[in-house]
């Protein structure tokens, strides 16, 4: 286990929706300069956990710690103000708007001495072009609508925006789902750069083959509970697949089957 205080920690978090226990006593540590992968089957509780970490839902019980201090996240804005940025699957991009406009959506740089200064589009275009070029997306015209970009490029715009505006924790909700191999690679490279800059990344995915090469630790959820937390050095890709697929339950099933076969053999 890596020492030191985690940047962000959820401790024994429980969240119920009516009779459904979406999360049961789940803990996760997010460390600066590491990628923490959050994995689990459909309905395992991944979305609920990231909603708790990003201030969208309040847990029924449990605690959130940031920089060693216990905090309450009252809203997504509150989380963002602290440097916890989440890129949800819809990416919060406006397809028909130019790339640079999307990059600054709601946070436009202004010119002039007064707060009512006008939007400095030239500067905004330069910044957006520079930031995207840094992650390997070299586009000539920042005025082209964001919808003309590929899925991976759009994902990178959303990530670059969060990083540029000072994310300390970056939560990515299935950023590589529905992407081809090359596109997923583009996004994962970008995620690695975010890690190298000291950001604590939470990467939510179904895909073990995307998670394993980039992850430092792996949190596996199962039916709302914590199946386990593993460090990369203690885990093979096969091991991670087994944890995802049910781990202990599958092992028990295999043992039961072996016993049955032995019994059949003995009887024969
Ligand atoms: N707003 C809600 N109201 C009622 N039940 C909910 C709500 N949100 C989630 N749930 C339930 O909580 C459980 C966990 O759901 P959650 O969306 O967190 O899982 P997930 O791991 O993100 O799944 P997926 O990969 O399918 O998105 C599921 O049984 C789901 O039906």
77: nearest Cα among 119, 107, 48: 107
| H or E, element range at 46 | helix 46-53
- pLDDT beyond 80 at 108: no
| CATH value of 8-95+166-235 in 3.40.50.300, 3.80.30.20, 3.30.950.10, 3.60.15.10 | 3.40.50.300
Residue 138 CA to ligand 1 center (angstroms) comes to 38
| H or E, element range at 190 | helix 181-196
Are 17 and 47 contacting, i.e. CB atoms less than 8 angstroms apart? no
Residue 22 CA to ligand 1 center (angstroms) comes to 6
Q: Is 211 helix (H, G, I), strand (E, B) or coil?
A: helix
Residue nearest to atom 30 of ligand 1 (CA): 43
Q: What pLDDT is attached to residue 116?
A: 47
Q: What percent of the chain has pLDDT over 90?
A: 46
Residue 40 CA to ligand 1 center (angstroms) comes to 12
pLDDT in tens, 37-76: 999 988 999 999 999 999 999 999 999 999 999 999 999 9
pLDDT band at 119 (very low <50, low <70, confident <90, very high): low
pLDDT in tens, 206-260: 888 889 999 999 999 999 999 999 999 999 999 998 888 876 666 677 777 888 8
- Read out DSSP for 111-158? -SSSTTPPB-HHHHHHHHHHHHHHTT---S-TTSBGGGS-HHHHHHHH
The answer to whether ipTM exceeds 0.85 is yes
Top mutation candidate among 15, 19, 22 for ligand 1, by most atoms within 8 Å of CB: 22
Are 35 and 20 contacting, i.e. CB atoms less than 8 angstroms apart? no
Distance of alpha carbon 19 from the chain centroid = 27
Cβ–ligand 1 contact at 44 (below 6 Å) = yes
């Amino acid at each position: 286990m890596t020492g030191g205080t985690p940047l962000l920690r959820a401790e024994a978090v429980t969240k119920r929706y009516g009779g459904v226990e979406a999360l049961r006593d789940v803990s996760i540590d997010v460390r600066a300069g590491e990628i923490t992968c959050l994995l689990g089957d459909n309905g395992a509780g991944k979305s609920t956990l990231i909603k708790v970490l990003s201030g969208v839902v309040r847990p029924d019980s449990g605690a959130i710690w940031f920089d060693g201090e216990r905090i309450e996240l009252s809203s997504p804005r509150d989380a963002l103000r602290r440097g916890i940025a989440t890129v949800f699957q819809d990416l919060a991009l406006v397809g028909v708007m130019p790339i640079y406009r999307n990059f600054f959506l709601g946070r436009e740089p202004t010119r002039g001495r007064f707060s009512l200064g006008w939007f400095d589009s030239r500067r905004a275009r330069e910044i957006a072009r520079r930031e995207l070029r840094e992650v390997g997306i070299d586009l000539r015209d920042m005025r082209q609508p964001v919808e003309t970009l590929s899925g991976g490029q759009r994902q990178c715009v959303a990530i670059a925006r969060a990083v540029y505006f000072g994310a300390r924790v970056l939560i990515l909700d299935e950023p590589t789902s529905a992407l081809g191999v090359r596109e997923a690679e583009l996004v994962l490279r970008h995620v690695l750069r975010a890690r190298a800059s000291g950001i604590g990344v939470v990467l939510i995915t179904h895909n073990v083959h995307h998670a394993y090469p980039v992850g430092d630790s792996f949190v596996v959820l199962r039916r709302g509970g914590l199946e386990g937390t593993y460090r990369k050095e203690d885990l093979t890709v096969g091991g991670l697949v087994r944890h995802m697929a049910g781990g202990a339950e599958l092992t028990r099933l295999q043992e039961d089957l072996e016993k049955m076969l032995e019994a059949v053999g003995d009887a024969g």
